[in-house]
């Protein structure tokens, strides 16, 4: 038997089915309905290589999952592959030499030529070596609107932020939450960032997040952004939900008018069989400044001494980037593919808007690509407090924000 197997393998040299079955534990924080449907595409594609995906989903979102992931890696109990957001979240692990160098496979497969935009691969690169595979582009710059909520309230579905704010009283009168915001730091600070781009403009946002200008953070233009955020927290005061997908569920059911959330929300509308343009609308850049940010997810592979594991880790990286997997995964995830050379004609209206903005170059880096995990955490703490404590006025919040930007790294 053994002889036969090795002969078969020799005959089928280097084909995926010849690879011996290796189990890889893969950690991620994709536990909502849409996310689970999407990650199942990765598992299916990897299992088709003859290896086995062992799912290591961690509930509670990225803020809960990342410390667990990091401590397992540092503590000597690493998984075989793990999700992080594009950018700087894994930089200390890479610098400590704990992550597998993927440069050989990246070079062999020409990742530099196929991954678009280029910044995604740059975020995986440390000292010229590639340590992760970007799998999608997720943008924060969206608001998702419930057609049912507006119909119930006898109001028109807004086409931009100003109309959205103006329609809030009608929604409230109809017993709806105009703007639902899950009460977790990453969600409140995410919403603030989106309002910043829409109300303050791209240049102001860049001065603060790219140049780390405390002066820009203290400017009167930025005060206007805080005023808009104040209006947003008032519109969302009856939200009473924590998890982002429970907030999306309120939009789906027509209990809330809208949610500012990344385009992973799209996965929830899909599993609820809602149709973009008919049951819900999406406005990139809050219908004001139509840009998308190029955040998203990348997979890293903690080093392992077993060569079979290393081989399977590289196979998984390759599968995640393959044309077929990119299409199947991203259609379910609501994200855009990281390669431009694939047929994504099945994309819905919202994805098409995103693809067009991407093709026109209307992109911003994501906060995770620009700010350290520490700075991001401090900004999240500030905004969850601002959102939940109506006694914190705009002046106090802006002054604290300025201090954080001054110290940002």
Q: Binding pattern to ligand BGC, positions 199-238, x when CB under 6 A?
A: ----------------------------------------
**Which is closer to ligand BGC, CB of 244 or CB of 299?**
244
Q: How far is the CB of 295 from ligand BGC (least distance, A)?
A: 6
Instruction: Report d(CA 54, CA 372) in Å as an integer.
Output: 30
- The torsion region of residue 110 among left (phi > 0), alpha (psi -120 to 50) and beta comes to left
Q: How far is the CB of 146 from ligand BGC (least distance, A)?
A: 19
Contact status: 138 vs ligand BGC (CB under 6 A): yes
Strand 52-57 to strand 23-28: parallel, antiparallel, or no bridges (unpaired)?
parallel
Contact status: 41 vs ligand BGC (CB under 6 A): no
Query: Could you say which of 56, 61, 258, 285 contacts ligand BGC (CB under 6 A)?
Result: 61
- Helix (H) and strand (E) counts in the chain: 21, 13
Contact status: 296 vs ligand BGC (CB under 6 A): yes
Residue closest to ligand BGC when measured from CB atoms: 264
Instruction: Report d(CA 54, CA 15) in Å as an integer.
Output: 22
Q: How far is the CB of 314 from ligand BGC (least distance, A)?
A: 23
Q: How far is the CB of 296 from ligand BGC (least distance, A)?
A: 6
Read off the tokens for 365: 């880096």
Terminal Cα distance for the chain, rounded: 59
Contacts for 234 with CB less than 8 Å, ≥ 6 apart: none
Q: How far is the CB of 168 from ligand BGC (least distance, A)?
A: 26
Q: How far is the CB of 63 from ligand BGC (least distance, A)?
A: 9
Q: How many CB atoms lie within 10 A of CB 108?
A: 10
**Which is closer to ligand BGC, CB of 30 or CB of 387?**
30
Q: Which CA distances in Å does 88 have to 12, 98, 206, 295, 407?
A: 40, 15, 17, 11, 17
Instruction: Report d(CA 158, CA 136) in Å as an integer.
Output: 29
**Which is closer to ligand BGC, CB of 384 or CB of 392?**
384
**Which is closer to ligand BGC, CB of 200 or CB of 267?**
267
Contact status: 329 vs ligand BGC (CB under 6 A): no
Query: Could you say which of 85, 326, 375, 378 contacts ligand BGC (CB under 6 A)?
Result: 85
Contact status: 332 vs ligand BGC (CB under 6 A): no
Contact status: 299 vs ligand BGC (CB under 6 A): no
Query: Could you say which of 29, 53, 144, 383 contacts ligand BGC (CB under 6 A)?
Result: 29
- CA-wise closest residue to 82 among 135, 148, 151: 135
Contacts for 110 with CB less than 8 Å, ≥ 6 apart: none
Contact status: 264 vs ligand BGC (CB under 6 A): yes
Read off the tokens for 152: 């119930």
Contact status: 62 vs ligand BGC (CB under 6 A): yes
CA gyration radius, the chain: 22
Contact status: 66 vs ligand BGC (CB under 6 A): no
Could you tell me how far CA 105 lies from the centroid of its own chain? 25
# chain residues binding ligand BGC, by CB under 6 A = 10
Contact status: 297 vs ligand BGC (CB under 6 A): yes
* CB-CB contact of 241 with 174 (8 Å): no
Q: How far is the CB of 8 from ligand BGC (least distance, A)?
A: 39
Q: Output phi, psi for 252, to 5 deg.
A: -60, -40
Contacts for 59 with CB less than 8 Å, ≥ 6 apart: 29, 31
Q: How far is the CB of 218 from ligand BGC (least distance, A)?
A: 29
Contact status: 35 vs ligand BGC (CB under 6 A): yes
Tell me which residues touch ligand BGC (CB under 6 A): 29, 35, 61-62, 85, 138, 244, 264, 296-297
């Amino acid at each position: 038997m053994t002889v036969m197997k090795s002969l078969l393998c020799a005959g089928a040299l280097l084909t995926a089915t010849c690879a011996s079955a290796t189990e890889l534990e893969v950690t991620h924080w994709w536990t909502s309905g849409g996310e689970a449907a999407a990650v199942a595409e990765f598992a299916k594609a990897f299992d088709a290589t003859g290896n086995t995906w062992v799912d290591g989903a961690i509930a509670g979102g990225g803020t809960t999952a990342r410390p667990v992931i990091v401590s397992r890696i540092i503590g000597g109990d690493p998984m075989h592959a793990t999700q992080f957001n594009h950018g700087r979240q894994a930089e200390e692990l890479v610098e400590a030499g704990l992550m597998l160098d993927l440069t050989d496979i990246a070079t062999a497969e020409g990742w530099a030529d196929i991954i678009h935009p280029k910044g995604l691969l740059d975020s995986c690169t440390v000292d010229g070596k590639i340590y992760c595979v970007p799998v999608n582009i997720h943008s924060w710059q969206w608001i998702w609107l419930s057609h049912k909520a507006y119909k119930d309230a006898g109001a028109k579905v807004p086409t931009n932020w100003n109309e959205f704010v103006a329609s809030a009283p009608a929604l409230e009168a109809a017993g709806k939450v105009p703007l639902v915001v899950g009460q977790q730091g990453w969600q409140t600070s995410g919403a603030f960032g989106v309002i910043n781009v829409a109300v303050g403009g791209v240049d102001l946002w860049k001065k603060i997040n790219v140049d780390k200008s405390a002066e820009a953070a203290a400017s009167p233009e930025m005060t206007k952004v805080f005023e808009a955020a104040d209006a947003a927290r008032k519109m969302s005061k009856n939200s009473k939900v924590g998890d982002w997908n429970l907030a999306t569920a309120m939009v789906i059911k027509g209990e809330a008018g809208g949610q500012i959330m990344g385009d992973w929300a799209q996965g929830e509308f899909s599993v609820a069989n809602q149709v973009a343009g008919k049951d819900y609308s999406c406005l990139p850049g809050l219908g004001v400044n139509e840009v998308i940010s190029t955040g998203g997810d990348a997979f890293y592979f903690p080093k392992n001494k077993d060569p079979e594991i290393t081989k399977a880790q590289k196979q998984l990286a390759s599968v995640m980037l393959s044309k077929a997997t990119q299409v199947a995964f991203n259609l379910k995830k609501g994200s855009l593919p990281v390669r431009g050379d694939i047929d994504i004609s099945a994309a819905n209206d919202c994805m098409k808007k995103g693809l067009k903005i991407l093709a026109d170059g209307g992109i911003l880096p994501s906060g995770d690509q620009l700010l350290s995990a520490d700075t991001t955490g401090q900004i999240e703490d500030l905004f969850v407090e601002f959102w939940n404590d109506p006694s914190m006025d705009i002046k106090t919040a802006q002054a604290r924000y300025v201090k954080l930007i001054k110290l940002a790294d």
